[in-house]
Amino acid sequence: MAHTIGVIAGDGIGKEVIPAGIAAIEKATRGSGVSVSFSDLPWSCEYYLKHGRMMDEDGYERMGTFDALYMGALGAPGVSDAASAGLILGIRQKFDQYVNLRPMRLLAGLSSPLANRGAADIDMICVRENSEGEYSGAGGRVHQGLPIEVATDLSMMTRAGVERIQRFGCKLAQSRPRKLLTLVTKSNAQRHAMVMWDEIAAQIAREFPDVTWDKELVDAATARMVNRPESLDTIVATNLHADILSDLAAALAGSLGIAPTANINPERLYPSMFEPIHGSAFDIMGKGWANPVGTFWSVVMLLEHLGETGAAERVMKAVEHVTANPLLHTRDLGGTATTAQVTEAVCAQIAATSQSHLTIA
């Protein structure tokens, strides 16, 4: 099997963690008859500062030719968030990656900042609507700089968009052992689109009678995540709500540095994109402190998406083998290990298990 991956390492620690992820893919697929080729797409804020745009003019066409996209992080001091986020949001919309998946669980050897909570308490997956809602990009500014200035950000929800994300969430909940789904909403205050969101969710949920379904206001959902994380399994939320909740969940699972995300076009008409959830983190750039675990976990999601489940499993097992050892924790997890040390240990463990896998086969 041959796969092609377009790689946008991007800015800051994105450039430090992506090579680690590529090394893991190469180790996990070596000798297994799977070939993976990587094409470097040098688009970033650095590119923006040189060229006045985030990517080449034929960027979307080029990206559209790959089986998957693998991204580090975009964002840099001196470049507006509108420019850097424009590329990420553009890719998500252009390639109709309407599902953003964020699994969160306590990996072996990691502890939660929540007292007396272990792996059995924190195991959830957030399904974020990724193509419309609060981040639809609709809105504008008029009379800029004048006392009468007006600015709007329009949250747009379509029936088709809500139906497809709710159906995806229900199917995912159905595939997980606990079959629980929590719908996050704010329909008590936002009385149009969020009310439609709730109505459609209830309709779709009726197609999945084996899924236990409940509804939580987003403010109450933050408290529930802290007080009763064990009550959450699959969470379906809007673009903005899930953005916030999933960062909270990542922190509860140990660090922003361990969390992955997959931007998926379930119909596979376009490439899906995989990335760690953290940003470019210029404060730690160049120090060797970046935790590559979120990047490895996003590799696991990428390999699963490509159908390489054996390789995905080998990477995930290797990551947990390494996180189980406190000597291999990076600073964000309270340790002193460097990006390079963690990467070397994960790759060595993948090689060890790949070897035994090939011998048994």
Identify the residue whose tokens are 């308490």: 121
Contact 261, 277 (CB under 8 A): yes
User: Smallest gap, in angstroms, from Cβ of residue 113 to ligand ATP?
Assistant: 14
Residues 40 and 253: their CA atoms lie apart, in Å, by: 31
Q: What is the DSSP string of 125-143?
A: EEEEE-SSEEEEEEEEEES
Residues 15 and 276: their CA atoms lie apart, in Å, by: 12
User: Smallest gap, in angstroms, from Cβ of residue 84 to ligand ATP?
Assistant: 8
User: Smallest gap, in angstroms, from Cβ of residue 143 to ligand ATP?
Assistant: 29
For residue 21, CA distances in Å to 71, 101, 175, 291 come to 10, 18, 27, 11
User: Smallest gap, in angstroms, from Cβ of residue 283 to ligand ATP?
Assistant: 4
For residue 255, CA distances in Å to 15, 197, 201, 321 come to 19, 31, 31, 17
Smallest CA-to-CA distance from 236 within 90, 133, 84 is with 133
SS3 content of the chain, % helix, strand, coil (to 5): 45, 20, 35
User: Smallest gap, in angstroms, from Cβ of residue 136 to ligand ATP?
Assistant: 19
User: Smallest gap, in angstroms, from Cβ of residue 330 to ligand ATP?
Assistant: 6
Q: Which lies closer to ligand ATP via its Cβ, residue 95 or residue 289? A: 289
Enumerate binding residues for ligand ATP (CB under 6 A). Answer: 13, 73, 75, 256-257, 278-281, 283-284, 289-291, 294, 330, 332
User: Smallest gap, in angstroms, from Cβ of residue 41 to ligand ATP?
Assistant: 18
Q: Which lies closer to ligand ATP via its Cβ, residue 250 or residue 311? A: 250
Q: Which lies closer to ligand ATP via its Cβ, residue 267 or residue 283? A: 283
Helical ranges in the chain per DSSP H: 14-29, 45-51, 59-63, 81-94, 159-175, 193-205, 218-227, 239-252, 293-305, 309-323, 339-360
Smallest CA-to-CA distance from 76 within 264, 214, 282 is with 282
Q: Which lies closer to ligand ATP via its Cβ, residue 164 or residue 329? A: 329
Q: Which lies closer to ligand ATP via its Cβ, residue 21 or residue 75? A: 75
